Amino acid sequence: MTRFLVHAALALVSVLFGLNYVIAKIALREVTPLDLVVIRAWGAAALLFGVSWMRRRSAQAPAAKLTVSDVGQLFVFSLLGVSINQLVFLEGLFRSTATNAALVLVASPVLTLAIAVLLRRERASVTGGIGIGLGITGALLLILPRGRLDMSSAAALGNLFLLGSALSYSLYLVFTRPILSRHDPLRVVSWLFLLAALTVTPMDIGGMRKVFATGLSPAGWASIIYAIVGATAIPYLLNNWALSRVKSSVVAVYILLQPLVAGVLGRVYLGERFGPHAAVAGALVVSGVILSALRKT
């Protein structure tokens, strides 16, 4: 039952992140990528610490104390998984397109597995390799028919940012597993966002003043609320909970579902038909996820 819940949680994370492609674009019409990272970090930190505090009050056993070494590690992880990852991703999304972002994103499972194998955190497996290969093939089939990749100078820089985001998040997935075995995932992710908020805020004091002075439209605030709750607090918490139970490469392979979600949403939003190529692509992505999930975790 626990294994089913882990994979269900990871599938939900992919849906929430996949929706964020369109919703983040709405927010970026009114705020800068750095503005959005700062707001997301503080909002998620406040929400998660509130939930963590209520949970500790009802807990019978006290939580293990964080050591100085733990806090130092969490600071590094906050840079990899939040500050750098989100800022570089949003900068890339701002300069490039959702299609390019979804395409570059499929590099994450490959990078995560490669890093884990190189660091001897995991062993390479035939099933896992085939699963990732099927998933990448499906994601490419889904994305490429929607239009050519825009390789103008701005988009090329955006694609480079997106690749950097994928690498940063892959490192985060691999390196956070040990600390998640010692501490509650909710507590870990709460500290990650607090430390990230303290890191990025000094870089955007002027931007924050402008946001609160001029205000945002209802759609802008709604998209930011979703960014905090639906695209940040909930998926990061579920990801960390899953990371404490399965290998980082299993968590990463679910990223392959995000282009499927983004593609379906794009077709609905743009009125495009869900043709046979999309059905085949979706089947390949799901097959890749299932194969990778069925291997020994």
Per the CB < 8 A criterion, the answer to whether 158 and 91 are in contact is yes
- Whether the pLDDT of residue 273 is over 60: the answer is no
Q: Give the distance from CA 87 to its chain's centroid.
A: 12
Cβ atoms 185, 77 nearer than 8 A: no
For residue 132, give the H/E element and its range: helix 126-143
Residue type, 42: W
For residues 258 and 158, give the distance between their C-alpha atoms in angstroms, rounded to a whole number.
19
Residue-wise pLDDT for 62-79, tens only, equals 667 888 999 999 999 999
| Secondary element (H or E) of residue 13 | helix 2-27
- Calculate mean pLDDT across residues 112-135: 74
**Alpha carbons 283 and 260: distance in angstroms, whole number:** 10
- pLDDT computed for residue 141 by the predictor: 65
Burial-class residue 133 by CB neighbours within 10 Å (0-12, 13-18, 19+).
middle
- pLDDT at 149 > cutoff 60: no
**8 CB contacts (<8 Å, ≥6 apart)?**
none
Q: What is the pLDDT of residues 162-180, one digit of tens each?
A: 878 888 988 888 888 888 8
Minimum mean pLDDT among 107-116, 189-198, 201-210: which range? 107-116
Q: Which of 297, 168, 173, 166 is nearest to 240 (CA)?
A: 173
By residue range, what is the domain housing residue 36?
2-294
Mean pLDDT value of segment 193-210: 93
Distance of alpha carbon 226 from alpha carbon 36, whole angstroms: 11
Contact 104, 159 (CB under 8 A): yes
| pLDDT beyond 70 at 103 | no
- Give per-residue pLDDT as tens, 217-253: 998 999 999 999 998 888 888 887 887 788 777 777 7
Q: Are 253 and 117 in contact (CB under 8 A)?
A: no
Q: Is the pLDDT of residue 56 over 50?
A: yes
Q: What's the whole-number mean pLDDT along residues 89-94?
A: 84
Q: What does the block give as tokens for 193?
A: 């966002």
Q: Where are the alpha helices (DSSP H) in 146-294?
A: 153-175, 177-180, 185-200, 205-214, 218-228, 234-243, 248-253, 257-270, 276-294
Q: Tens of pLDDT along 24-44?
A: 878 888 999 999 999 999 999
Question: What's the domain count of the chain?
Answer: 1
Residue 143: is its pLDDT beyond 60? Answer: no
CB 83, CB 199: distance < 8 Å = yes
Confidence band of 296 (pLDDT split at 50, 70, 90):
low
Please give the model's pTM, rounded to 2 decimal places: 0.75
User: What's the mean pLDDT when you consider all of the chain?
Assistant: 79
